[in-house]
Amino acid sequence: MDQITFLHASNTTTHIIQCAHVMNLNFQDRCNFIRTTEGCLKNLHYFDYLNFIFCDVGATSKNNYFSALFIVFIICLYMFITLGTTADKFFCPALAVISKLFGLSENLSGITLMAFGNGAPDIFTSLFNTEDDTELMYTQLLGGAVYVTGFIIGIIMLIYPFNLPKKNYIRDVIFFIISVTFIHNSMHDEFYALNEGIMTICIYLLYLIVVIVQHLLMKKKIRDLKNSSRRSSNSTESEAMMKLAEEMENFTNIQIRNRRDTTVILNNDIWKVFRRKPDGNPNKDLFIKFIHDINPIKRIDWNESSFLGTIFIIIKAPIVFILSFIIPLVDYGEDLHGWSKLLNMINVITLPQVALLVLGIFKQKIFIYIPLPIIILVISIAIDVAIYKTSRNDRPPKYHVIFAAGSFAGSILVIYSVAKEVVSVMTTVAIISDMSDSMVGLSVLAWGNNIGDTFATIALAKQGYQQMAFAACFGGPMLNILLGIGITFIMKGLKSLSNTAHARGGALGPNCIIFLISILSFTFFALLLTNFRTRKSIGYFCIIMYATFLLYCLLGEFEIMHPYGTDHRET
């Protein structure tokens, strides 16, 4: 979820190279090196994995060293489970509810809500880190884009076949190719001018405007078809126009689906929960329902699972239990849409505090003396009092949809935070593997910085929102590439007397460009032949092309072959 961390890419790889010397030392000397070398101290988010591997556990022998690596591997697996659980149980249902509330199509929601939700935290961070060197951001960004358009799109096609809105897809491919070509040409002379930075952002704004206008025009056309159908005296013509309008609505209106079996939930089934008659005491069985809702193992999931499925449910139970106290659940496929009066009141208190902690402002004070968490806590308690007075335990309040925003934001915070920790683990792997800086940029950082999007996108596709997931694979990378590079170089250009910024693209940048355009072109022509219906064969080939890209880069990494665009100049 945090692809824009490329702003720290070059500094990160510098620290990796500096710290990688630890592998040349004896086991007894590694701990002291890790604790005294600045590059090693930078590889830290919440937990210091290098210190754990080389000092706490693996300091004395090779067996202990490999034991420490195994423990870190298990921790990393648990983080992956956390990402998947958060995306599947909280993020996707909330995103669908918000999209339906604002009348967004799956395509528009994927390009806007999902892309902004995933990229916004790091974009804001980028505004305060414009002094970082940008030598490798090009490779990292394009490596991430190749990963998303090759591997993730391939996985989406393997899950369920679906029809793509052809005009939307053609638009996205054209804008994507124009974007990367413009940035590549702008960086060709190793300088990025201020006006080029402004143009970069303008391309993204133009893309966003075209997407929104196209959506509005489609809605207007549907209304016109329905009106013409009602006025038509020819029944055959009227039925044809109405059928065309309904087909177009499949691409302009999102259909809420059950998270477990992807069946469509009708509007009447959604709203009938609000028509339930009150049953006496509004707080009846308040604690009984609370205990039921915090139980991480649901009977329906347990009964429908295989043996391995039940083991997985047990493994992820602690994660679900903890997340239920942080993120409010809003899911139209659940009983009462996931409403739990007491639990949601707890969420109102815990979620803002967790947000302050994740955003690094937990210790901030207002008016010099008053801690920010205390102010937020007082506001949360006031909101809880209002919720207690105005809601019932046996049916959700009409304002329950507001909790969807909290669920969306809370999911992003958790995914963002865990993904950062995954990047820390993968950076540790890069140090141990002694990778070059370019290879780190297009593999470790590209994977780590897209890991949150990977789980969120695959979860969307599995729940039946393939069009949204597919659109996010274009909207996300374009947001990161255009806004990320644009903001960075505008800020750098404003501080330069010549209004330009040094922008070296990295050794493997041209390889990324070639493979990215190749994957986009192949996918386009393959879908053109299938009338824009996805097939598993296309998905397999996309994954094979991404694997070929990695193999090509690895062969260049080990100097077995000479990669196109390899930079032999001294830096």
Q: What is the pLDDT of residues 477-495, one digit of tens each?
A: 888 888 877 887 777 777 7
**Among 10, 207, 22, which Cα is nearest to 107's?**
207
Q: Where are the alpha helices (DSSP H) in 434-535?
A: 437-439, 446-462, 466-478, 484-494, 509-529
**Among 344, 293, 338, which Cα is nearest to 320's?**
293
Give residue 540's pLDDT band: very low, low, confident or very high (50, 70, 90): very high
Q: Can you tell me the distance from the alpha carbon of 436 to that of 431, in angstroms, rounded to the nearest whole number? A: 10
- With a cut of 70, say whether residue 278 has pLDDT above it: yes
* Residue 491 vs residues 174, 272, 487, 494, 563: alpha-carbon distances, Å: 28, 52, 6, 5, 33
Q: What is the pLDDT of residue 3?
A: 40
Highest mean pLDDT among 303-307, 346-350, 410-414, 463-467: 346-350
Q: What is the pLDDT of residues 236-251, one digit of tens each?
A: 777 788 878 777 777 7
Q: Share the mean pLDDT of the chain.
A: 81
Residue 153: CB atoms within 10 A of its CB come to: 26
Q: Classify residue 506 as left (phi > 0), alpha (psi -120 to 50) or beta.
A: left
What does the longest C-alpha to C-alpha distance in the chain come to?
A: 90
Q: What is the pLDDT of residue 571?
A: 44
Under 8 Å between Cβ of 133 and 503: no
Under 8 Å between Cβ of 191 and 502: yes
Q: Classify residue 280 as left (phi > 0), alpha (psi -120 to 50) or beta.
A: left
Considering the entire predicted model, what is its pTM? 0.82
C-alpha 230: how far from chain center: 43
- With a cut of 50, say whether residue 1 has pLDDT above it: no
Long-range contacts of 492-501 (CB under 8 A, 24+ apart): 492/130, 492/134, 492/192, 493/192, 493/193, 493/194, 493/197, 494/194, 495/130, 499/193, 499/194, 499/195, 500/191, 500/192, 500/193, 500/194, 501/134, 501/191, 501/192, 501/197
Q: Locate 557 and state its tokens.
A: 């990494």
Q: Locate 314 and state its tokens.
A: 């047990």
- Angle, CA of 482, 487 and 492, to the nearest 5°: 130
Q: Where are the alpha helices (DSSP H) in 54-103?
A: 62-86, 92-101
Percent helix, strand, coil in the chain, to 5, is 75, 0, 25
Q: Is 405 or 239 the better-scoring residue by pLDDT?
A: 405
Name residue, tokens 């947000």: 355
Alpha-carbon torsion 129, 440, 444, 94, what sign?
positive
Q: What is the pLDDT of residue 222?
A: 85
Q: Locate 399 and state its tokens.
A: 């304002």
Least confident of 152-161, 182-191, 219-228: 182-191
Residues in Cβ contact with 346 at an 8 Å cutoff, skipping those fewer than 6 apart: 325
Residues of the chain above pLDDT 90, percent: 24
Name residue, tokens 């393959």: 526
Give buried/exposed letters for 497-509 (b at 16+ CB in 10 A, else e): eeebbebbbbbbb
Q: What is the pLDDT of residue 127?
A: 52
Region 445-471: what's the mean pLDDT? 83
Q: SS3 sequence, 94-110?
A: HHHHHHHHCCCCHHHHH
Region 390-417: what's the mean pLDDT? 90
Under 8 Å between Cβ of 139 and 197: no
Give residue 385's pLDDT band: very low, low, confident or very high (50, 70, 90): very high
Looking at residue 277, what DSSP letter applies? P
Q: How large is the C-alpha radius of gyration of the chain? A: 25
Q: Can you tell me the distance from the alpha carbon of 387 to that of 525, in angstroms, rounded to the nearest whole number? A: 54
Q: Can you tell me the distance from the alpha carbon of 500 to that of 489, in angstroms, rounded to the nearest whole number? A: 8
Q: What is the pLDDT of residue 507?
A: 59
Strand, helix or coil for residue 470: helix
